[in-house]
Each structure stands twice: as C-alpha cells, then as structure tokens.
Structure 1
C-alpha cells in the first residue's frame, strides 16, 4: 500500500492506494486559516503539522492496516507561498499561502519602474506571476519584516514543510522552483527573477531542488510517534498539487488535455518541452519526468453553481442533493438555453484567460421576457463550458479527449455538455483523491514499484465514464459560443467605455 498526502488551502487529505492505483481508504480534516488583514492568507504552521498527523492516524484507523504495510509515502499540496524556518527548523512566523495578496503595492511599484517586469518574469517561468508566489512574498518580507528574514535558514512551501516534518530532510522540487518564479526551461530557481524583484541576496534561503519521483528520506522516530506511521517508511519528494492531479488522472503523454473543474477551472495540455506561447498569458506547470503543462484558468469554476443556487435557486439550495436538482432544472431548457448566455467571470480577480482583465465581471446577455429560470441556470452551466472551449483555443486545442476531474466532473450532465461544446470526448477518471493519488504514484516510482511515472500512469488509470460529443448539438453550441464571445466582448467593451 502507498500513502498520498494532499495539503490543501483549507482541507488536509490523505488516501491509501494499492499498487494498481485503487483507492482503498481516505481521511480529511478542515483547517482554518488565521484571522489576518484583508488580502492576507496565513495559517499556523505547527497546527498544520498537528492536523496532518491526525489525518494520517485517522486514515490508518479507517483502513485498519498495520503501518508496516505502507511501502512508501508521497506528499503534494498547494504551491508557492513562504514557510520561513529558523536554524532549528521551527516556523519563524505564520506561513504565507499562495492566495495572499499583500505584495500588491510592492509589485505595482516595481512595475511602474519597469513596465516590462511581468514579461521579463514570464520569459523565464512561462507563467503569469501571482502575488502569492514565493519571490514577491519574500520581497515584501524584506521591506516589512527584515527581522524575520534575518532569523531564517530556509523557505519552504506547504508540502515541503510537511515532508520536512516527516523526514527531517530540507528540499523542494521542480514545479515549485519554476513557479517561484524561476525557470521552466531549467526546472529550477533562476537568479534573474530574484534580481528583478530586488532580492538576489535571499537566494541562500531557497531549498535544494530535487526530482519528484526520488526519495527524500524516511519517516523519523519523532514523526512516527506523531502520525502512527512506521519509522523508516520511505518518503518521496512529491510534486505540486497541479502536477499531482495530472498524474492522478493518469496523464503523462504529450498532447493529453486535462481539465480540473473545481473552485477554479484549470485547463491544460501536456508537452515534452517548455511552451511560452501565447506570451504573457496562462501558467506553465512543471510535471515530473520532463513534462510541461501549458494551462489556462477560468478563475470561477464550480463557484458559479454555488452562486446560482444562492441567488437564483434558494429553494433548491435548501433541498436534498441540491447540485443534482440544479442539473435537472438546467436540463429542462434546451441546448443553447433559448438564446441567453452567461459570461462566467464571477471572481473578484476578473478574468485571466484567454485574456487578462481584472475588472471583468460576470453577467447574463440576451435576456428577453420569454426566458425563465431554467434558461438562466442552463446558461450558467454552458458559460463554463464555453470558457473551457476558449481556454483550450488559446493553447491550440484540446485534441481528441479531455480528462476531466474535480467536483464538476461528478455531473454527467455537465460532462456531456463540455464534450458537446468542445467537440472532444470527455473522460472521467475513476477515483476522487487525484492529488493524493499523484503523490502516491511518485512514491511508487521512488521505491521501485514502477520504473517511471509514465508506466505508473498507464498501469493505474481506469475511466469511470466517457462522454462522446453529440453531433446533433454541434451547430447549436457553435451558435451559442458565438453569442458567448459577443457577450464577453460587450462586457469588456463596457469596461473600457467606463474607464475612458
């Protein structure tokens, strides 16, 4: 058996998998972020370790297996941010997470002095720099908390911190280094982005970069007492949560398309080389064993359904199985939603793919007196499907098949719609904890259960469902997509008019 640990923003998860990749047991626990100023996102580092250890103990109890049956452990989790540790390995201050925005003013000031800042960073990382990335947060700490940096021996990220507590080994890996931002080509940290952000002297704080599918070390006696694991159990380096989800969905071949329809809607295509086009747009995630995933993200994913339930369907929200009932209501409106479209830019950060406009907001277009609630609800589902289509269009297309995971994949109605809109078959992988599975696959390769991650992905993938595009709806959705593009353009045009 292999253990995968997934450190989420607010939920800590762990799952056990056999060598065939079948999920045998899982456990999870929510963890509250610390109260902090608006725009900050921090947690208690010691509590993160305590909760993780408790989740592992709960998993072992649920599974009813002896700890010595676990052949290897992999760790994944939310990427970037800053976990500052002192020379004794203790957190110096509350860890800062990926969704922290405290560096906004600093980055704005740097960009004012160098309008090409983001393009220069993109030329190395292949990704839009986010405010919660490791380097901008370190730059903020340099200006605002120099005493914390003076005490620091290393900066880690969430999964690196948990792996350190399990093994005592300080390391990071390629996906974190490239997204820091570093270099996607070399899959490592890079001196130039550090210089651009004014922190070249902080390079010694960056942990050694290791490959995801190699061993970090073994569970220490202290960690064994905390978690119930066996001391000496091998622990793999692991990879960031996006790469782990890709592996967990069985994807490792160049050309494979992957969508994760969760809180956000992430859409990517795997390559065997770094891809920097289109320039200054999207994210380039490192996937272990010489793979890169060019990714476009619609910031709002399943959150549009939560909004729809609260704003349009409070009666359904209060009923049993609300998401299933919402899908049934949407299904009473025909494909194309009788002409109404929903632009799903339902996020405070606007839209970042296939264009960047932080002021963009969601809205219905084409509403007329004959439209009812069912049409509007269907338009919400279709809006995300059209956004997925646009995201893949910015990459060059999804090819023949999209592997779809995340909460939205549970809906056969939505999965079929995405297939119909994109013209690609949609395949739903078996399982639920894809991040933990990807971490476990890294452990399988690191311990020799498989010779490579490509082999492990092929051997452990099973499809739960497959949805083929319905040719009968092709023209209907093509017309709907044209209306969607017109609605998006109208919304962005209105913003420009207001700005002018």
Structure 2
C-alpha cells in the first residue's frame, strides 16, 4: 500500500526533504545547504541550478535512506520560500540568479510608488493581499526593467524557484496560487493575475507561469525525475504551496483563530481563516492555502538574528559567552527589563512597519542597566514586535480564545518561550517535530489526491506538545510595556529616513 509520502521544502538557506508515514511521523530525511549571495549593496541572490541540484540530491538521498519503504511512497508534495524571482530565456535557462525575498534593491521603486499613488497603494493591497515592500516580485520586476533593461527585454518568462525546479522536471511552466499570491501580481478575489499589478510591472500573463490551485498534481513522474530520484514512475507530484501557510498546517494551526508563531533567523506570525482577512491600512499579508483556507499575518525580519547580534557583540568581550548562558542570565531580570525597550529593526522591517530603512534602538538606558537587561530587552523586543503584528489581525479573527503553536530555533531558550506566553497571556504549544512545512506539504498532498475529504481530517500522528503556561502576574507589566513599545516605535518611525540618509552619506564620504 502506497501510504508513505515525501515533503520537499525549498528554504532560503537549504532544501529539506522528509519521508513521512501515514500517521505523519518522519522516518527518513536529508537536507542540503546553499549560499546566499550579496555581491552588491542590498542584493540577496542564489544560483537556481545549485538549488535544483540540492533538491535532487536531498530527494535521492531520502529515498535511499528509506530502503524498502521507497516502494510504499505514493506522492511528493512541495513547500517553498516566497517572493523569489528568476528571469529565464526561451529555453528556460536562467538569465538572472534567483532574487530572494531578502533582496532590497527595489526599495526606491516601492518608495516612489507609495509616494506617487497614495490611495491606489491601499487598493492594490486589497486586491492582492500583499503589502508593498522590496521583497515582492512586483517591485523586483520594476527594478529589473530599469536597472537591467537588456535582461528584462530578453526574458521569455519571470518565475519563482519552485516553478523553475518543476520546469526542469516536467518541461511545463506552472505555479500554485499561494506562490502566485506572494508575487504581489495575483488577485485574491478573481484568482487570476491582476491587470493593474501587471501594468505596474510591465509584464503580460504570457510572461508568467500558468496558474494552478495548490492541490494540482502530476499523475506520474517524468523520466528525468524518476531517474534522479530513484522512485517508481507511478508516484504523483503535488504542486503544493508556500512555507508559511504550510507551516500552519504542519503544526496544527488550521482552525479559525489558531495562531502559528515561528522565530528562526527572521520570524512570522500567522492565523488561519475560511476567507481572506485584510488590514485596512495594508500592514498584514493574506495568502491562500486552499480555496477555503487563508493564512493572514506578517513576516518580521528580526527574530533570532537580534539574539545573534547581541550574542556576537558580547562575545567580543568574553569568548566564553554562549547563547544558553545569555538566556539563563537574563532570567534574573524582571519582565520589562526595568524600562529598557529594544526596537529590533536591525535589518529594516517588514511587518508591521514595511520600512526597509527602519533602524534598531535601545530606549530607556540608565546606569542601572547591564548586559543582562540588554539581552532580556532584545528577547522581549522581538516578541513585542510579533504581538504588534498579531494586534493587526486579532480583531478580525473573531474568536476570544486563541491557540498559539510555536516553532523555530527560539524554542531552545526557555526564557524566550516564556516571554512569548507572558506577552500574549496565552498557553503556547510547541510541537516536538520541527519540519512543519514539509509535513504541511504532505498533509496538503493527501487532501489533493483525495486520501482525505477535508484538510482538517488529514491523518496525523497524535502530536506531542511542550506547553508553556503564561504567568498571570506579568499580564499588566507586559500590557503597559506593549503600549510603551508601540508609542516609541511610532515616534521613531519619523526619523528612520534621516538616519538612513545620514548613514549612507557618511559611508560614502569615508570610502566604504
């Protein structure tokens, strides 16, 4: 019986492939890393063929590790990082690297659009569900047209990284609705490419892959894929969706009102609904998982990277400093860090500011504060930032009781997990498995090929969760701290452009 399935997650820094049994337990896996290239200011690119080979190797090795179980694999299903853009020629060969979500070179085009179009920017958001930001291919296309005009003219199509891999396997240009939504070019009401967005990007539908629902699948492997994977040609391939919505499914945050929090290097907070949820000011995203499941929320640039920054800074003074020790020592400090507030915008910010020029800051420093206060303030700042994103969608969720499911590297810090529960004043459930996007892809795949009639009924092993209980004594402290955080963030927002301009001016003057 073919009741085993493979989930493939094409991430920003690595591809992970996991084999799951019929109950959702992982039984074999393999991953392959690849570099993020930054050959000029603001660039964040990857080589498409390196990722293609990483997918092939990880798939082949997972199949090899599965042994006799390979005969029981029924399908492959995909998850992918969002917002990538590759220009390809008529033969499907890349004319550019894969320009990732982290690339901010299109920031001037975003600023010009917001300045020139005003209210139209909100209308565009209402149609696409995507805030205007350099991460989106909509503005990457504007940058490419103006900064690399020869490539823009030569390009036969503009595609994402998953589209490219599937083309290499099946010789067809197809993209799923979730990946299309992340481009900023897809209309969430009509489920077609948005005419006004296409005009802004100066592309036609023919320049983009054919649209498919996330449940679309190929009945058989291509000869190329069968050879590279070692799988039987009768295995199906489900096109799947994007990593954020699939992570919600993988951790069990699929019912209306459920909230998934992920903090790795960056972070995100997402909630599920049966219809699109939009912010009136365009500060949160809304992407499809299926036609009846929508995931709303926001990505943040500054999650674990903020902890890494403070760790590396302190380690210069003391090489014995470890993450575990920093976290443990910061537990000595009371919630609120004695009024020390950290705005965590070290790498600009997506939600809720959508400002690539935003800067981080400590506010409230006094002689009483030491490095333990600073570490606690950094951890609190990252959570307060996520809570500010949640506040945008909370009123629209429509449920008084919220379930929070959390994943990511931050779960290695007992203090950070407790801060999350205390700020949200809600029990936090942390699943023992970590490959939530791969599992989500497989659960979507079972629904797609008809093994389950409802997505919520997808068979999953009874999940084991670590549960973090909020301390009610800290409710008012964090309520007051959040109000202060919001006020300080709003005040500082008026100064980010001036800081950004000053930094750039004096970098040039010093020859950097």
TM-score normalised by the chain length of structure 2: 0.87
Is this contact kept in 2: 1:250–1:460, CA < 8 A?
no
Work out whether 1:475 is the aligned partner of 2:476: yes
Return the offset for 1:426.
Answer: 0.9
Matches within 5 A, 1:225-240: 225-240=227-242
- Alignment correspondent of 2:508: none
User: Equivalent residue of 2:262, what SS?
Assistant: strand
Mark the CA change 1:149 to 1:449 in structure 2 (over 3 Å): closer, same or farther. same
User: Equivalent residue of 2:406, what SS?
Assistant: strand
Mark the CA change 1:486 to 1:203 in structure 2 (over 3 Å): closer, same or farther. closer
Return the offset for 1:34.
Answer: 4.5
CA RMSD between the two structures? 2.8
- Alignment correspondent of 1:408: 410
Is this contact kept in 2: 1:75–1:163, CA < 8 A?
no
Mark the CA change 1:102 to 1:373 in structure 2 (over 3 Å): closer, same or farther. closer
Return the offset for 1:85.
Answer: 3.7
- Alignment correspondent of 1:299: 301
Return the offset for 1:65.
Answer: 4.2
Mark the CA change 1:468 to 1:110 in structure 2 (over 3 Å): closer, same or farther. closer
Of 304-313 and 441-450, more deviation after overlay is shown by: 441-450
User: Equivalent residue of 2:192, what SS?
Assistant: coil
Work out whether 1:218 is the aligned partner of 2:216: no
- Alignment correspondent of 1:280: 282
Of 37-46 and 327-336, more deviation after overlay is shown by: 37-46
Of 77-86 and 464-473, more deviation after overlay is shown by: 77-86
C-alpha separation in 2, matches of 1:134 and 1:391: 23
Work out whether 1:165 is the aligned partner of 2:171: no
Matches within 5 A, 1:312-391: 312-314=314-316, 318=320, 322-347=322-347, 349=348, 351-391=349-389
Is this contact kept in 2: 1:285–1:295, CA < 8 A?
no
Is this contact kept in 2: 1:342–1:363, CA < 8 A?
yes
Matches within 5 A, 1:165-204: 165-181=168-184, 182-197=186-201, 199-200=202-203, 202-204=204-206
Mark the CA change 1:144 to 1:289 in structure 2 (over 3 Å): closer, same or farther. same
Is this contact kept in 2: 1:178–1:188, CA < 8 A?
no
Mark the CA change 1:206 to 1:114 in structure 2 (over 3 Å): closer, same or farther. same
User: Equivalent residue of 1:396, what SS?
Assistant: helix
User: Equivalent residue of 2:173, what SS?
Assistant: coil
Return the offset for 1:420.
Answer: 1.1
Runs of 5+ consecutive residues of structure 2 not aligned to the other structure: 502-512
Return the offset for 1:204.
Answer: 0.7
Mark the CA change 1:235 to 1:116 in structure 2 (over 3 Å): closer, same or farther. same
Is this contact kept in 2: 1:278–1:395, CA < 8 A?
no
C-alpha separation in 2, matches of 1:210 and 1:459: 26
TM-score normalised by the chain length of structure 1: 0.89
Of 333-342 and 235-244, more deviation after overlay is shown by: 333-342
Runs of 5+ consecutive residues of structure 1 not aligned to the other structure: none
Return the offset for 1:2.
Answer: 1.0
Is this contact kept in 2: 1:248–1:436, CA < 8 A?
yes
Is this contact kept in 2: 1:425–1:466, CA < 8 A?
yes
C-alpha separation in 1, matches of 2:363 and 2:46: 40
Is this contact kept in 1: 2:128–2:188, CA < 8 A?
yes
Return the offset for 1:116.
Answer: 4.0
Work out whether 1:37 is the aligned partner of 2:35: no
C-alpha separation in 2, matches of 1:372 and 1:264: 26
- Alignment correspondent of 1:245: 247
Mark the CA change 1:234 to 1:148 in structure 2 (over 3 Å): closer, same or farther. same
Is this contact kept in 2: 1:169–1:216, CA < 8 A?
no
C-alpha separation in 2, matches of 1:130 and 1:492: 16
C-alpha separation in 1, matches of 2:493 and 2:142: 33
Is this contact kept in 2: 1:278–1:394, CA < 8 A?
no
Tell me the alpha carbon deviations over residues 228-251 of structure 1, each in whole angstroms, 9 at most, x when there is no partner: 333231100100111121111122
Mark the CA change 1:109 to 1:364 in structure 2 (over 3 Å): closer, same or farther. closer
- Alignment correspondent of 1:118: 121
C-alpha separation in 2, matches of 1:134 and 1:86: 18
C-alpha separation in 1, matches of 2:497 and 2:246: 39
C-alpha separation in 1, matches of 2:112 and 2:497: 23
Tell me the alpha carbon deviations over residues 370-393 of structure 1, each in whole angstroms, 9 at most, x when there is no partner: 222222211211222222222211
Mark the CA change 1:367 to 1:132 in structure 2 (over 3 Å): closer, same or farther. closer
Tell me the alpha carbon deviations over residues 54-111 of structure 1, each in whole angstroms, 9 at most, x when there is no partner: 1122223333345332211011111233233444433344333233333344445555
C-alpha separation in 1, matches of 2:307 and 2:211: 39
C-alpha separation in 1, matches of 2:139 and 2:495: 32
Mark the CA change 1:127 to 1:35 in structure 2 (over 3 Å): closer, same or farther. closer
Return the offset for 1:258.
Answer: 1.5
Of 39-48 and 58-67, more deviation after overlay is shown by: 58-67
Work out whether 1:58 is the aligned partner of 2:61: yes
Is this contact kept in 2: 1:81–1:137, CA < 8 A?
no
C-alpha separation in 1, matches of 2:324 and 2:435: 21
Mark the CA change 1:433 to 1:134 in structure 2 (over 3 Å): closer, same or farther. same
User: Equivalent residue of 2:214, what SS?
Assistant: coil
C-alpha separation in 1, matches of 2:490 and 2:97: 42
Of 353-362 and 208-217, more deviation after overlay is shown by: 353-362
Mark the CA change 1:256 to 1:167 in structure 2 (over 3 Å): closer, same or farther. same
User: Equivalent residue of 1:64, what SS?
Assistant: helix
User: Equivalent residue of 1:403, what SS?
Assistant: strand
